[in-house]
Structure 1
C-alpha cells in the first residue's frame, strides 16, 4: 500500500510540474468589455467617411500717392515776366482678392496596411469611379486609432492623422476646365 501511495504522489507531482501555470491575461490580446470584440489585423477593411470642407480667402489693398511740383520765374525786359512750372504726380492703387473653397463628400473602404506597437493602424486605399467618360479617383491614407472606429466599422476622415486625401478627375469635363497649352505658355510670359 505504501508503494502505491508513493507512486501516486510521484505521478501527481510530475503532472503538476508538466502542466505549469499560465495566465489567462495576454496584454496584446486585451480588449475592454465595451469594445466591439473585433480583432483588427493587417488586411482587414475599414470604411472611411470623407467629409472635408475647406475654405480660405485673402484680400489686400494698397494705395500710394506722390505729388511734387517745381516752379520758377524769370524777369526779362521791364514789364515782361516769364514763369514756368513743372509738376509730377505719381499715384498707385492696387487691390487684390483671392478666395478658394473646396468640399469633398465620399465614402471609401480602405485596407489596414500595418499596425503600430501602440495599436494605431496605418490605412490606405483608393476608389476609381467612371461616369460618362469622366474618371474620378479618390485616395485616402493615414493613421487611425482603434477607439475612433465605430462599432459599424466606420471612421470619420476628421479622425485620420497625417491624412492624405486626394480627389482627382479626368475626362471631357476636366479637359474643358484646364486652359489650353498656348494660354498656359502666354501666362508664363505674363500675358
Structure 2
C-alpha cells in the first residue's frame, strides 16, 4: 500500500502533461502564452497628431478612428479583424497506364562438324540437339490510380495583427477554442494580408491570406480513442513490413 501515493502522483503528472484535468476534461491553452496578447499590449506609435479636442470634439469629420465615419479596419499591431473561412472545393484525378512486352530468341545447330548427329544417336528417344538454344520472354505491367477529395468548411474567427512588415503587409494570428463536455474543438489561423484587401466591415476571406495556415481539429476523450496507442505507433515505426 505504500506505493499507492506514488502511483497517484504519477497519474496526476501524466494527466497534467496531456493537458487534461483528473476528470479527463481537456484544458484550454493559456491566453497569456500566445502572440495575440503580446501584440495587444504593445502601445504602438500614433498614426497622426492628436486633434484639438476643444475644436474637433463634436465634429463628425474628425480623423479619429472612433468617429462616426472613421476607418476601423485593422492596420496596426494589436488590431483585430475577422477572418472568413468558406471552403467548398472538390478535386478528382484518375490515371490509368498499361504496358506489355514480348520477345523470343531461337538458335538451332542442325550440323556442327557432325557433332549433333553423333550425340543424337546416344540420346533417349525423342531427344535431339537440332534446336540447341531456345529463349523466350514476356512481360507486362499495369497501373491505375485515382484521387478524389471533397472539402467543405464554413467558419469565422477573430485574428490579431501581431506584426507589420516593412512593406506594410500585416502578419495575423488567430485562435479559437470551444469545449463541449470532454471534447475541445480548436481552430487556428495565421498568415499575411494586405491592408487594402480588408473590407470596410473589417473582414478578410481566407483566399486573400498569403502563406495561410488553417487548422481545424480537436482533442479530448473522443479524439484519444480514435488514435492508435503508443505501442502500436512504435511498432508501426520500427517494423519494416
The answer for the alignment partner of 1:160 in structure 2 is 209
* Mapping 1:39-50, distance limit 5 Å: 40=74, 41-50=76-85
The answer for the alignment partner of 1:60 in structure 2 is 95
Normalised to the residue count of structure 2, the TM-score between the two structures is 0.50
Q: In 1, Cα distance between the equivalents of 2:165 and 2:143?
A: 53
Deviation, 1:146, is 2.8
Query: Aligned residues, how many?
Result: 160
Deviation, 1:72, is 6.5
Normalised to the residue count of structure 1, the TM-score between the two structures is 0.60
Deviation, 1:169, is 2.3
Deviation, 1:36, is 4.5
Deviation, 1:49, is 0.8
The answer for the alignment partner of 2:146 in structure 1 is 97
Q: Deviations over 1:36-90 (max 9, x none)?
A: 433744322211111234544444333222223355777756x967587664332
SS in 1 for 2:207: helix
Match of 1:108 among 151, 157, 160: 157
Gap regions ≥5 residues in structure 1: 1-27
The Cα RMSD (Å) is 3.7
Q: In 1, Cα distance between the equivalents of 2:185 and 2:214?
A: 13
The change in CA–CA distance for 1:126 and 1:70 in structure 2 (over 3 A counts) is same
Q: Deviations over 1:132-170 (max 9, x none)?
A: 433221111222233322332222112222322222323
Contact kept, 8 Å, 2:73 with 2:199, in 1: the verdict is: no
Gap regions ≥5 residues in structure 2: 1-46, 49-62, 111-116
Contact kept, 8 Å, 2:73 with 2:201, in 1: the verdict is: no
Match of 1:51 among 75, 86, 99: 86
SS in 1 for 2:211: strand
Q: Deviations over 1:118-144 (max 9, x none)?
A: 543222111112234332211112222
The answer for the alignment partner of 2:182 in structure 1 is 133
Structure number with higher strand proportion: 1
